[in-house]
Amino acid sequence: MSSLKGVNPEIRKYLRKHRIPDVYECIITGLAIMNPDEPLEYIADKIREIMAMRTDPLQGLESVKWDMLIPEEMKPKEKPVTSIYLDSLFNFDDENLQPTPEQYAKAYQHYNASLIQMCFGAWILYHQRKMRKRAELERKMANATQYYHLRLQRVNLQNWRAWFTFRKTRQELSFNKIQKVFHTSLSRLVFEAWHNVMLDSRRTREYFERLERGELGDDDDQLGPRGEARDDVSLLPRKAAIKISGKFKPFKWGIIAEYKLHTTL
């Protein structure tokens, strides 16, 4: 729809003088409320009524109102044609145009709704941010707890391995020392037994050599049992024991002595 913005100021002055905007608002309101079947005839009839009012000195065009063409029972509480529409159509007082109460109310409602929407959106964003931070903190705490337990298990495992290695080393050292002492004692006993066997073998050899040379009598018993060191051979007659002993060589006596040592131990 065309607007009168930018037209000659004389034309706008003419329209204001003859109250054309008021007449236009009155007719448009009647059409919107009454909805006549023949709108052009309705407009013509209402213009005639307004022209009659113009000639009436008691009424005049100053008495034209926006709802004067509507019966009392059908009058609306609010204007169907807003002042904003009329201002945008006729564009009066373009230089000093002031907002109407309806514009103020609509602007306030729009500002209030925008402010509520902005605050609610900011609260939603804040709540979502807090939820993300809480979820991130919980995830970090879970990872930290898992890392702590793994680290603790690793430290305990390292301590156990160090203790196990220490105990194993001590056991190996103890076993080596005990084995060394055992082998040393066993070697000493074997050496002492070998030494005694060698001495006995030497005496036996000297005895038989002297016996063969006839330097000993039958009553000499240098090889007889001493103390409790008696065996089955010593229970035989002397000549039989000498014959049996002569069958063994000196190194066999060492073997016999070692056998007796082990059986004694």
pLDDT tens sequence for the chain (265 residues): 444 555 667 777 777 777 777 788 888 888 888 888 888 888 888 888 878 777 766 666 677 777 777 878 888 877 777 666 666 666 555 544 556 777 788 889 999 999 999 999 999 999 999 999 999 999 999 999 999 999 999 999 999 999 999 999 999 999 999 999 998 988 888 888 888 888 888 888 888 878 777 776 555 554 444 444 445 555 555 555 555 555 555 445 555 555 555 555 5
Q: What's the residue count for the chain?
A: 265
Give CA–CA dist 66/76, Å, rounded.
11
User: What's the pLDDT at 92?
Assistant: 53
Instruction: Indicate the burial class of 66 (C-beta count within 10 angstroms; 0-12, 13-18, 19 or more).
Output: buried
pTM over 0.85: no
User: What's the pLDDT at 191?
Assistant: 87
User: What's the pLDDT at 225?
Assistant: 47
Give CA–CA dist 181/238, Å, rounded.
43
Scanning the chain, the segments in alpha helix (DSSP H) are 9-17, 20-34, 39-55, 83-90, 101-213, 238-246, 250-264
Contact assessment for residue 88 and residue 102, using Cβ atoms and an 8 Å cutoff: no
User: What's the pLDDT at 138?
Assistant: 94
Closest CA to 68 of 26, 113, 128: 26
User: What's the pLDDT at 226?
Assistant: 47
Tokens of 195: 């030494």
Distant-in-sequence, close-in-space partners of 204: CB < 8 Å, separation ≥ 6: 223, 245, 250, 253
User: What's the pLDDT at 49?
Assistant: 82
Distant-in-sequence, close-in-space partners of 81: CB < 8 Å, separation ≥ 6: 25, 28, 29, 32, 66
Closest CA to 32 of 83, 67, 84: 67
Instruction: Indicate the burial class of 254 (C-beta count within 10 angstroms; 0-12, 13-18, 19 or more).
Output: middle
Tokens of 165: 């290695």
Contact assessment for residue 69 and residue 61, using Cβ atoms and an 8 Å cutoff: no
**Span 39-84, pLDDT tens digits:** 888 888 888 887 877 776 666 667 777 777 787 888 887 777 766 6
Contact assessment for residue 97 and residue 87, using Cβ atoms and an 8 Å cutoff: yes
| DSSP-derived secondary structure letter, 72 | G
Domain boundaries along the sequence of the chain: 9-97, 176-264
Give CA–CA dist 182/207, Å, rounded.
37
- Residue the block writes with tokens 């052009």: 40
User: What's the pLDDT at 228?
Assistant: 45
Residue type, 168: K
Give CA–CA dist 158/152, Å, rounded.
10
Contact assessment for residue 253 and residue 201, using Cβ atoms and an 8 Å cutoff: yes
